[in-house]
Amino acid sequence: MWFVCSVWTNNNLSDVTASNIVHKIPEGVVTIGSWPMGTDFTSNYPVNYYFRRSLTQTIYHEEEMIQQGIIQNLTWRFSSSAIQPPTENIPVQIYLHTTEKSVFSGATVDDFIPLTDAVLVYDAPLHVAIPGGNFNLFVPFSTPYAYNGGNLVVTVVKNWSASYGTANVFHITSTPEQNRSWWTRTTNGPDFDAFEPVIGDSSGIAASVPNTMFQFDISNTGHLSGVVTSGNPPLPLEGVEIRLTDTTRRAFTDEQGHYLFTYLPEGNQSFTATKQGYFPFSFEQNITDLQTTQFDFTLVQMPTVVVSGKVISNDAPQGLVDAIVILDGLGYYETTTDNNGEFNFENVYSSFTYSLKITKRYYLPYQDDFLEIGTDDIVYPNVMLYERANSPENVLATIEGNNVRITWEEFPGYDIWISHGSGNNIVGALGIEYGDPVSYTAVQRFDAEQLIALGVADGTLSKIAFWENDTPDGIGFGDGTFTLKVYSGGSGTPLMPGTEIHSQPVNPYDVIWNNWTEIDLIPAINFPINNEIWFGVFFEGEGYVMGLGNGPAVNNYGNIVLFNSIWQTLPLEFQNFMIKGLVTGAE
């Protein structure tokens, strides 16, 4: 990860090194971002001094905040130019509240998080140092904020009658898989009202957060730690979630079974520990001011059973081989049928309702969403799969004496183009000015559920097409090189593809200017079973080359790019990449 979040619990100051700069962090401070200088990125949020008016929001995740309590102030890392007019007389309003949202999906008014239960913590000018340079911008709250867990939202409003230079900026840190900041700005429009937001001259979202320090009041707080075990003999249990009752605050055990809560309110506190496959455990502990309370406990594993069965078909009554069987509920289990069509799941957690799915190419799927697993082993009744009724092709009847010979070819499947894009409706392109080379990979992502819904899960990816934008030479290949890429597997959280399974350079003379370029994959790629597939184009060169459609954007699927070694999504006003894949043999 590119960002650092830490809390210091000792009474001495600690040295933290970032970007070769040593910065002292006192007790009770939570830092968000690569403090103090970030990753050498700067931006015009949370306050935009170049435009006369700005409105911004940033989401700080609960797991970054680490602790709860009274937030007394915050500090941003700021960079200003001494030659700019002073900005210290410009008032801003800062609001704090919490949200269930973790990221922004767009840059519209509907994506702005309403200030429900928000607290105005600051309403005054920011004291920007003169002369300029890099320094800490300290913001003392007029009203301290009681933070009790959850994702924290910081909303900042600035309305002023003058503009200042772009050299007045904030240090930020990249959050590559998450759009965590929202902004809008205007020069000639009306003042912004955070309770009735509007979009200004421009708006956007960003996969980054301002480098921020939050100062907590840590008086009347203590800590709780311990080790969770299971079994006989007891062994450390990793991945146990321990939650503070009636709050969103939680801790998880590590490989040694150790957990830690810091800065809990003193007094009697209630907790509940849970882990999949184990009985929940609730307990109470008395938290003492400035003390660490130790509490170890054991979780008891739920009993398990065996689930077995057999899959048959109208053409294989003795048993259907290699059918995919998935049992999903309290746990996830997957297998394929053996030579007798039989399947077997061991260690299935009991006393829960599961979903049973059975699939095989060329057959209609079977699904039971209400399979009750009790305390006894289950032998599921035989499941019948039926062949799909696809029409044969090239049927030919030939008279041979008194007989007629009928021949035909097996149904080859459909050919379907799949894309999150928008046909031929190009509205822009990704790239950079000429004379400044750049490289990136633009892809389309399809998960297993989407492939099934499109009816192509059993097909083959045979072509990739991409739209190359206009180029100065009018030929289409003078700006760089293109390479097709295919990845098997991946996830959206974190945003990361699986294994690269295909890389194919594109002949520059095959690239078509301002139109679709279709390239045959050699060899064609079979879709991974019950997994994701990512496909797209690696470009290295200059100019605004990779076409973008007019949407609507399909975030985390149609707008993914690998840039500066980070997989990330484009701001949503850029919509989806104009990339598509041809699936052959789809059933």
C-alpha 207 chain-centroid distance? 11
Q: What distance in Å separates the CA atoms of residue 89 and residue 78, rounded to the nearest whole number? A: 16
Containing structural domain, residue 556 = 414-586
Computed from CA positions of residues 453, 454, 458, 463, in that sequence, does the dihedral angle turn out positive or negative? Answer: negative
Same structural domain, 329 and 272: no
| Domain identity same for 212 and 227 | no
How far apart, in whole angstroms, are the C-alpha atoms of residue 28 and residue 217?
7
Are 375 and 480 members of one domain?
Answer: no
The domain boundary residue, chosen from 171, 190, 217: 217
Contact yes or no for 180/116 (Cβ under 8 A): no
Q: How far, in Å, CA of 214 to CA of 512, rounded?
A: 53
Sheet holding 332-336, edge to edge: 332-336, 324-328, 352-359, 366-373
Give the phi and the psi of residue 452 in degrees, each rounded to 5.
Answer: -65, -45
- Looking up residue 352, the CATH number of its domain turns out to be 2.60.40.10
Domain annotation covers residue 403 = no
Q: Is 6 exposed, middle or buried (0-12, 13-18, 19+ CB in 10 A)?
A: middle
Per residue in 142-185, pLDDT (tens digit) is 998 988 788 999 999 999 887 776 667 888 888 866 789 999 99
Residues 289, 308 within the same domain? no
**330 and 194 in one domain?**
no
**Residue 303 burial (CB count, 10 A):** 10
Over its length of 587 residues, how does the chain's per-residue pLDDT go in tens digits?
A: 222 222 222 222 222 222 222 233 456 778 887 766 655 577 888 998 888 999 999 999 988 887 778 899 999 988 876 545 555 678 899 999 999 888 998 888 888 999 988 999 999 988 765 556 788 888 999 998 988 788 999 999 999 887 776 667 888 888 866 789 999 999 888 999 999 999 988 888 888 899 999 998 888 888 999 999 999 999 999 999 999 988 767 888 999 999 998 888 899 999 999 998 899 999 999 999 889 999 999 999 999 999 999 999 988 899 999 999 999 888 889 899 999 999 999 999 998 899 998 988 778 889 898 999 999 999 999 999 988 776 677 888 898 888 888 888 776 667 888 998 766 666 666 765 445 577 899 999 999 888 887 878 878 999 999 988 754 444 434 468 999 999 999 988 888 999 999 999 999 889 887 889 999 999 999 888 788 999 999 998 877 788 888 666 788 899 899 987 889 887 655 578 999 999 987 76
CATH code (residue 517): 2.60.120
Whether residue 336 lies inside any domain: the answer is yes
The per-residue pLDDT for 587 is 65
Query: Does 503 fall in a domain?
Result: yes
Query: Is 447 part of any domain?
Result: yes
Residue at 184 is within a domain: yes
What is the model's pLDDT at position 86? 55
Q: Are 550 and 427 in contact (CB under 8 A)?
A: yes
Closest CA to 523 of 553, 493, 484: 484
Per DSSP, what are the bridge partners of residue 210?
A: 172
Query: Do 496 and 575 fall into the same domain?
Result: yes
Same domain, 122 and 200: yes
Same-domain status, 142 and 277: no
Structure tokens at 562: 């690998």
The whole-number pLDDT of residue 67 equals 76
- Whether residues 440 and 532 share a domain: the answer is yes
The verdict on residue 177 lying in a domain is yes
The amino acid that residue 528 corresponds to is P
Q: Same domain for 185 and 241?
A: no
φ/ψ region of 421 (left if φ > 0, alpha if ψ in -120 to 50, else beta) reads beta
**H or E element: which one contains 390?**
none
The one-letter amino acid at 298: T
Q: Which of 172, 199, 217 is the last residue of a domain?
A: 217
How many structural domains is the chain composed of? Answer: 4
Same domain for 421 and 352: no
SS (H, E, C) 69-129: EEEEEEEEEEEECCCCCCCCCCEEEEEEEEECCCCCCCCCHHHCCCCCCCEEEEEEECCCC
Buried b / exposed e along 552-575 (16+ C-beta atoms within 10 A): ebbbbbbbbbbeeeebbbbbbbbb
- Which of 237, 270, 298 terminates a domain? The answer is 298
Is there a domain that residue 277 lies in? yes
**Closest Cα partner for 256 from 225, 215, 293, 221?**
225
**103 plus 149 within the same structural domain:** yes
Is 390 contained in some domain?
no
- In the chain, the amino acid numbered 5 is C
Rounded distance, CA 281 to CA 274, Å?
A: 7
